[in-house]
Every structure is written in C-alpha cells, then in structure tokens.
Amino acid sequence: MPGRTLRARALSTRSAALATLGATIAMVVALIATGTLSFAHGRIGTGATELGDPDYGVCRGLDPDCYHDWGNFDPAKGYRILLYTHTAGPRHANLGPALATGLNPPITDANVVQKAMLKLGEQGGFQVDYTEDVTQLASPNTLFKYNAVVFFSTSRDALDDAAQTSLRQYVRGGGGFVGIHNAFGTEYNWPWYEGLLGNANFYDHGAAQPGTVQTMDRKDVSTKELPARWNFTDEWYNLVPAPTKVRVLAKVDESTLAKGVAGNYNHPGHGDNHPVAWCQYYDGGRSWVTTLGHDAKEFTTDGSFAGATEFQKLITGGIQSAAGMKPFCK
C-alpha cells in the first residue's frame, strides 16, 4: 500500500508539472502571436515599451542581403522616377496648387517642387514623371516602370488600399523609395510605412529657422560632395519614433538653432543626435529619406538661399542611389 501511494503521488506531481508546462507554452505562443513577446535579434522580453516595436517583421538595416535583386529593372532602359506629391491633409506651399488627375498634368511656376525635380532629373540623368493621382500607384506593374518612387511632402492618408499594396509589392521586388520632408507626415497608421522611413515618424517641429547641418558620412553618393558643415533653413522635424538600424548621413547641430529645439507639441529635441537624412535596406528594397525640404527657396540657384546647392546635391544623390544608378547606402 505505501508503495502504491508513493507512485500515485509521483504521478500526480508529474501530471501537475506537465499541466503547468503546457499552460506556460500556450501563454508564450499567445504572447508571440500578439507581438507582446519578442525574440527578434536575440531579445527575449517585452521589446520596446515606449516607442513601439522597431522590427516591423521585415529584413531591414544595412545588410545588402536584405535587398531583393529579382531582375525587375533593366539599366539598359535608362532610369525613371515617379514623383508623388498628393496631399490629403496640410499642403506645403512649395508644392503649389493641387494637380489635375493623370500623369504629368499641366503645372505652373507655383508648382516649385515639381518643376525643380524635373530640372534635377535632367541634370542627374534620370527621367521624372509626376502625379498626385493615387490611381497611378494602384498597380505594381505600373510602379515597376520606375527605378524609384519619390514622396515629396505628401501628407496624411495619401494612399488607398490598392496603392498601399502596390507600394509594398514594389519595394519587396527591389524598388527604390525616397521620402522627402512631409513624407514623414504621411500614412501615420501604417506600421510598414513607418518602417520604410527607418522606424521614424514626424511628431512636431519648432519655428522654421537657420541652422547648421553636419554631414556625418561623406562616403555616400548623396553626401560625398557636401562640406562637413553647411547652413540651411528648415523646420527641423522632431521624430517619434526616431530612426534605428539606419546609416545616418546628416544631422542638425541643435546648438545652432537660436529659436530653440522644442516643437509645437513640446518635443524637447534630440540633443547631440538629431538626424535629418539617412538610408537603409528595407523589405527587399532601398529607402533613402530626409526630413529637409520645407522652403521653396531651397531650389534656388543664385546663391540667395544658404544651403540650396547642398540640399539639391543631397536629394539628387539620394535618388540616384535608391534608383540603383549609383552605389546605395555606402
């Protein structure tokens, strides 16, 4: 009898242990499924607790293996980019009046960005088509005609479901993306797009004011012709989240901002590391972005606006590298 009692107790204890283990496994599976528990990049824990999950479930960062070279682009056909300036919210003055539907509709002198990008394309060796018509982005087959897609101060929900899917498939097929200025104020509620921006999003900005840009990486195509420091005037976006796993190409020296760094929603600024341009591989494609680009005068060529020449070199090189014309994110 005592032997049978001991065996029964042992079996009961073993059953309880197995039940506890099963419950633990079920809980872990549930946490992983809901994204609460993260094993990404060797982490075991609750992941980022303040600014969101920085992983986005895709291959991203500086490893060229994240790029999908699937033969969707033929350099022999030349290089074309699609400039997209659709605004579903605030519209920057340098975009001029809203454009008619279709591809390459009529523009006026007030459409400063569109006219300037056409000129930069001529100088930089790439053809520029432009549109604010979301239907022009509705098919990956259409986007694959372009070596890069440029979002210049788009705003809010600038894409519908079809265009979102198309852009994602395009990038996954090796497409290039360039985001300029209020591209950071676009598609706020789409995590994949936030990742495309480098795990970054616009939060607020202070007064538009002069400041000094520091060129951080002078080996990259977009920065190799820039001085170590150059003056520029912008809104100096504050970011939440701030970029991670990217190559920072330029930042603003916050000590040169006489009107301060605090934004209109009280962001305190980024201190010694306030990035304004960076690059990364993302989900099969290339992404080059800058928060600069607020003022129409940045496209002047007469020397009247400090930093205009440097800004134009920066974005031209960024487009060339994202489009595959020149080495990317080196």
Shared domain for 149 and 257, answered yes or no, is yes
pLDDT higher at 11 or 198: 198
**Is residue 57 situated within a structural domain?**
no
**Is residue 50 situated within a structural domain?**
no
Q: What is the CATH number of the domain that holds 133?
A: 3.40.50.880
Residue range 253-267: average pLDDT? 97
Tell me: the pLDDT tens digits for 274-321? 999 999 999 999 999 999 999 999 999 999 999 999 999 999 999 999
**Is residue 47 situated within a structural domain?**
no
Q: Is the pLDDT of residue 13 over 80?
A: no
The pLDDT confidence band at residue 217, using thresholds 50, 70 and 90, is confident
Shared domain for 186 and 142, answered yes or no, is yes
User: Which string of b and e fits 13-37 if b means at least 16 CB within 10 Å?
Assistant: eeeeeeeeeeeeeeeeeeeeeeeeb
pLDDT higher at 132 or 14: 132
Q: Is the pLDDT of residue 19 over 70?
A: no
Q: Which residues sit opposite 211 in a β-bridge?
A: 232
Residue range 132-146: average pLDDT? 98
Q: How many domains does the chain have?
A: 2
The pLDDT confidence band at residue 54, using thresholds 50, 70 and 90, is low
Going along the chain, which residue ranges are E strands? 60-61, 80-84, 127-131, 148-152, 176-180, 202-204, 209-215, 229-234, 238-239, 247-253, 275-282, 285-290
- Is the preceding omega at residue 241 within 30 degrees of 0, hence cis? yes
Shared domain for 199 and 303, answered yes or no, is yes
CA distances from 169 to 39, 176, 230, 282 (A): 26, 12, 37, 12
Shared domain for 21 and 104, answered yes or no, is no
The reported pLDDT for the residue numbered 158 is: 98
| CA distance between the termini of the chain | 77
The pLDDT confidence band at residue 3, using thresholds 50, 70 and 90, is very low
Report the half-sphere exposure of 65 (CA within 13 A, side-chain side).
2
**Is residue 327 situated within a structural domain?**
no
Shared domain for 126 and 260, answered yes or no, is yes
Report the half-sphere exposure of 7 (CA within 13 A, side-chain side).
4
The reported pLDDT for the residue numbered 240 is: 96
Pick from 46-60, 201-215, 232-246: least confident: 46-60
**DSSP conformation letters of 158-224:** ---HHHHHHHHHHHHTT-EEEEEGGGGGB-TT-HHHHHHTTS--EEE----EEEEEEE--TTSTTTT
Tell me: the pLDDT tens digits for 85-134? 999 999 999 999 999 999 999 999 999 999 999 999 999 999 999 999 99
Is beta strand 80-84 parallel, antiparallel or unpaired with respect to 148-152? parallel
**Is residue 270 situated within a structural domain?**
yes
Here the tokens at position 161 are 């479901």
**Is residue 230 situated within a structural domain?**
yes
pLDDT higher at 181 or 4: 181
Shared domain for 10 and 140, answered yes or no, is no
Shared domain for 190 and 277, answered yes or no, is yes
Residue range 258-273: average pLDDT? 96
Q: Which domain holds residue 317?
A: 62-322
Tell me: the pLDDT tens digits for 21-48? 454 444 434 333 333 333 333 433 343 2
The reported pLDDT for the residue numbered 11 is: 44
Shared domain for 225 and 314, answered yes or no, is yes
Shared domain for 180 and 209, answered yes or no, is yes
Shared domain for 153 and 12, answered yes or no, is no
Shared domain for 278 and 136, answered yes or no, is yes
Pick from 10-24, 113-127, 182-196, 316-330: least confident: 10-24
Tell me: the pLDDT tens digits for 72-87? 999 999 999 999 999 9
Shared domain for 24 and 111, answered yes or no, is no
